[in-house]
Structure 1
Amino acid sequence: MKHSRIIFAVLSAILLVSSSAWAEFRLTPGFSLRQEYDDNIYLTARDEESDFITIVRPSINLNWETRFVELSLNLGLEYEKYLHNSNEDELRPSQGARFDSTWSLYKNALFLRVSDSYERVPIDEGDKGGLDNKLANLTDRNRLIVNPYLLLHPLRTLEARFDYQYENVWYRAEEGDDAETHRYSLQLTKEISPRISAILYGGYTQYRPRDASRSVLEDIGDEEYDRTDARLNLLWNVTEKFTLGGNVGRAWLDYDYSGETSSTLLGGRADYQLSRTVSVGTSYQEDISDSVENGAREQKRYSAYYSYADRAKASLTLFKSRDDYIEIQRQDDSMGAVLAGELPITNKKGVAWSLNYTDYEKAETEDYDRYGARVEFYHDMRLGRFALGYTWNRNDSDIQDNNYTSNIIFAQVVLSW
């Protein structure tokens, strides 16, 4: 929350420094109001708690471009008011609030990127959850990035990029692992041909949790580690409609007390536009990322998609993933599908819908099937959209206390000027 002040400090500096770019300045205010009834706000198996929730969200969307800076700001306040559970009332930056800026400091070679984002994220991705749920297994996360970098072109087809990146991650929930990271990296991009390019990347990262452990025997605190990466990426535009990409590499993690471990970095992607309206693709990725509360994890994810976009829209995504947690004995597997679309009825009216399914195996302790569905009838207006909708969630677990169902009925209006 405190890092949000940085957004306003940087924005104020831009207002003072840049005086010649009013023609490139665009400011769009917005406002949304949502009223909903949720019959199970905590996603419990029994003694469900229902409530009427009012959500008010004023916002501004700002874009500014000058010779020295490119800036975008999507900032709003979100107030949630519960009729019967006033202890859950909340005023915070709106979910998805984001600030991005890139400063040109010296002759299109030295740059500074500053970004800040605020969003709601799951505390444990294997625990409770559902479409449009606002309380169960969720916390606020603020991510601040300060990234000076240097771009050089020693050859016409070769670009060298030197980076230092400071990142500060803050979670509102006590379970969240607040941390700072410092990353130093070199990236070489070579155009092999007009259709093929290669990227060679090397990086060194210092992960420094705010509550660092002082011994491997401590039950509280998180362990510091240093990470070294080496990776090669290739991108091939086979035709204007067919693209292939891939990467291979290795990551080494050196923990303060637990010793060293290494993981393979591997990925591939294919995207093909079959026609003006139809696209298909598939991807596979192995990488390491930090979880909210359980440290670093090795992630393997496969996905495939089909997309149709014309006056009506429809998409299908299939996925399968595995998370191996490095610091604890835990392995999660999941697979599922997301089917979504939009069907216009008239020029201003239509139906948007989605269906979700996930089969999740959590660390050999729980196996559940999770279902979700949402349907929304909308009417477009001159300044925005009015919608009425219904959301359904169902969790079928082999642990009886983790079975739950929720029903949400909502009405909302979204305006922009």
Structure 2
Amino acid sequence: MKQAAPLLICCACAALVPFPANAADFRFTPNITVSEEFTDNVFETAEGKRYDFITRLLPGLSLDYKAPVLDLSVAYNYDYRYYARNSRSDDTTHNLDARGLARIVDEFLFLEASDTYKRVSLDVSRDTSNESLFRNQSDQNIVTASPYFVISTIPHYTIKGGYRYTNTWYKDPSGIDKTEHRAFADLSYEVTKQLSLTGTYSYVIEDTAESDLNRHEAMAGGRYEYADKSFVFANGGASRISYRGGDTFTNPIWNAGLTHAFDSFTVTLSTGVQYSEDPLRASTEETFYSAVFDMPLKRGALNLNASYSDFVNTATDERETRRYGGGFTLHHELTQRLTGTLGFAAERYEQNLLDAYTRKFFVDAGLRYELGEGFSLGLTYRYIDYHSPRIVADNYTVNRAMVEIRKVF
């Protein structure tokens, strides 16, 4: 499986869009960011810490185009990194999020396509992308194309069906490239303005270098809006996974939640089963539970969150990792131009195969000042603390300090 170069895709998308007569339908915005970072543990090791200064140059662009037959959005930047003490000789990457929607037959036949390129954590249960620039990570490129139809002419009913092709590529040799073919059908029935019922079915064929599988998923449920901006939903069903030449597993799946808007804050509770994209597995099933508290403040916002996830290798139907976590994020407008951010997260990873656990603390603090004329200045400090009684490599701390200047043209 080969990846398409993100820069070429980005330029091609921009070149194919004709400049419209109405400027409101088209927006093209270049930008550039320059930053300098100091880290006291660039390789995030328990012993033999090595510090370094990292210079980053990120030229980029954003493009939005809307027309009767086509919507297109592209956000891209090239990320060049220079390590002053030669910790790494070449560490450049791309960040691309390109999406398009073509209306082939008005209000009936559509074509969606997307290309997402970014650096991701190789461990599906532990996101390291905000903690390090490269440790245990790989560049990932996901290309999708989905023709589908929508029938909404029958009163109270909406029928949607189609096909989705997904190609997933990893730069790191340990990452497992995947090709997925998905046929899907969705039916929704609006009982009242507040109550709707839904049913979904999908059939997936996934091919990887590790193994091939087929998956059936079927769910039914509904959504009820019992007050303004307050609703509850629940869907349940089953998933049947068959590994070609291997075992077959049938498991219950669900997706449910509650959002209640109080006068001064909002609470969201959710739970479900999803098949998370795992760079090191053909398929990983994640069962999750989460609670989120959002409170808008007079000059900012406060977010509190707690979560639990259970990761199961579907090839063996065995639990591999449990993750518990919680934390908060506070945004505050100190002045008209100066904004501060403070965040804290604590997580615990229980690894069943090793009969061991790891604890993590993560602190993220920052200031951003709007200089005017599209310029902004940012200061960020991040502290990471890992501890494990049995896993030696999971005992280290990292201090990172960054300063950046950004210009939006």
Query: Is TM (by shorter chain) over 0.5?
Result: yes
Q: Distance in 2 between matches of 1:208 and 1:411?
A: 43
1:90 lines up with 2:91 in the alignment: yes
Partner of 1:216: none
1:395 lines up with 2:395 in the alignment: no
Q: Distance in 2 between matches of 1:115 and 1:3?
A: 14
Amino acid at match of 1:272: H
Amino acid at match of 2:213: Y
Partner of 1:219: none
Partner of 1:64: 65
The 3 A distance-change label for structure 1 pair 138 and 84 is same
Could you tell me whether the CA contact under 8 Å between 1:41 and 1:51 is conserved in 2? yes
Partner of 1:373: 363
Cα deviation, 1:249-288, whole Å, max 9, x if unaligned, reads 111111112121112111211111112x411111111233
Could you tell me whether the CA contact under 8 Å between 2:220 and 2:237 is conserved in 1? yes
1:195 lines up with 2:194 in the alignment: yes
Cα deviation, 1:183-231, whole Å, max 9, x if unaligned, reads 111111211111111221111111011x2xxxxxxxxxx1101111111
Q: 1:330 deviation in Å?
A: 4.6
Any idea what SS the aligned residue of 1:2 has? coil
Could you tell me whether the CA contact under 8 Å between 2:33 and 2:59 is conserved in 1? yes
Q: Distance in 1 between matches of 2:122 and 2:187?
A: 36
Amino acid at match of 1:373: V
Partner of 2:342: 353
TM-score when scaled to structure 2? Answer: 0.93
Q: Distance in 1 between matches of 2:5 and 2:236?
A: 35
Partner of 1:78: 79
Structure 1 range deviating more: 353-362 or 257-266:
257-266
Q: Distance in 1 between matches of 2:71 and 2:277?
A: 29
Could you tell me whether the CA contact under 8 Å between 1:40 and 1:405 is conserved in 2? yes
Amino acid at match of 1:385: S
Q: Distance in 2 between matches of 1:378 and 1:13?
A: 36
Q: Distance in 1 between matches of 2:197 and 2:174?
A: 40
Partner of 1:288: 275
1:324 lines up with 2:324 in the alignment: no
1:114 lines up with 2:113 in the alignment: yes
The 3 A distance-change label for structure 1 pair 300 and 83 is same
1:415 lines up with 2:407 in the alignment: yes
Partner of 2:289: 302
Q: Distance in 1 between matches of 2:249 and 2:11?
A: 41
Q: Distance in 2 between matches of 1:75 and 1:409?
A: 25
1:338 lines up with 2:346 in the alignment: no
1:267 lines up with 2:267 in the alignment: no
Q: Distance in 2 between matches of 1:22 and 1:131?
A: 37
Q: 1:358 deviation in Å?
A: 0.2
Matching residue within 231, 252, 259 for 1:243: 231
Partner of 1:146: 145
Cα deviation, 1:154-177, whole Å, max 9, x if unaligned, reads 512111112111100001111111
Could you tell me whether the CA contact under 8 Å between 1:251 and 1:264 is conserved in 2? yes
Matching residue within 386, 408, 415 for 2:377: 386
The 3 A distance-change label for structure 1 pair 358 and 303 is same
Amino acid at match of 2:90: D
Partner of 2:36: 35
Q: 1:364 deviation in Å?
A: 4.4
The 3 A distance-change label for structure 1 pair 48 and 411 is same
- Listed as ranges, the gaps of 5+ residues in structure 1 are 212-221
Structure 1 range deviating more: 397-406 or 138-147:
397-406
TM-score when scaled to structure 1? Answer: 0.91
Any idea what SS the aligned residue of 2:393 has? helix
Q: Distance in 1 between matches of 2:280 and 2:148?
A: 30
Amino acid at match of 1:306: F
Could you tell me whether the CA contact under 8 Å between 2:310 and 2:319 is conserved in 1? no
Q: 1:402 deviation in Å?
A: 2.1
Cα deviation, 1:354-385, whole Å, max 9, x if unaligned, reads 10100110124121110010111221222142
Q: 1:30 deviation in Å?
A: 1.2
Q: Distance in 1 between matches of 2:28 and 2:329?
A: 31
Q: Distance in 1 between matches of 2:342 and 2:13?
A: 39
- Listed as ranges, the gaps of 5+ residues in structure 2 are none
Could you tell me whether the CA contact under 8 Å between 2:366 and 2:381 is conserved in 1? yes
Q: Distance in 2 between matches of 1:128 and 1:85?
A: 25
How much identity, in percent, do the aligned residues show?
A: 20
Any idea what SS the aligned residue of 1:176 has? coil
Any idea what SS the aligned residue of 1:193 has? coil
Structure 1 range deviating more: 384-393 or 85-94:
85-94
Q: Distance in 1 between matches of 2:187 and 2:290?
A: 28
1:254 lines up with 2:254 in the alignment: no
Could you tell me whether the CA contact under 8 Å between 1:183 and 1:205 is conserved in 2? yes
Q: Distance in 1 between matches of 2:9 and 2:30?
A: 21
Q: Distance in 2 between matches of 1:386 and 1:101?
A: 32
Partner of 1:44: 45
Q: Distance in 2 between matches of 1:322 and 1:388?
A: 35
Q: 1:47 deviation in Å?
A: 0.7
Could you tell me whether the CA contact under 8 Å between 1:131 and 1:391 is conserved in 2? no
Q: 1:298 deviation in Å?
A: 2.0
Could you tell me whether the CA contact under 8 Å between 1:3 and 1:142 is conserved in 2? no
Q: Distance in 2 between matches of 1:130 and 1:140?
A: 11
The 3 A distance-change label for structure 1 pair 401 and 65 is closer
Amino acid at match of 2:285: E
Q: 1:19 deviation in Å?
A: 5.2
Partner of 1:218: none
Amino acid at match of 2:65: W
Q: 1:312 deviation in Å?
A: 2.3
Could you tell me whether the CA contact under 8 Å between 2:20 and 2:26 is conserved in 1? no
What RMSD, in angstroms, separates the aligned Cα atoms of the two structures? 1.9
Could you tell me whether the CA contact under 8 Å between 1:130 and 1:393 is conserved in 2? no
Q: Distance in 2 between matches of 1:313 and 1:394?
A: 26
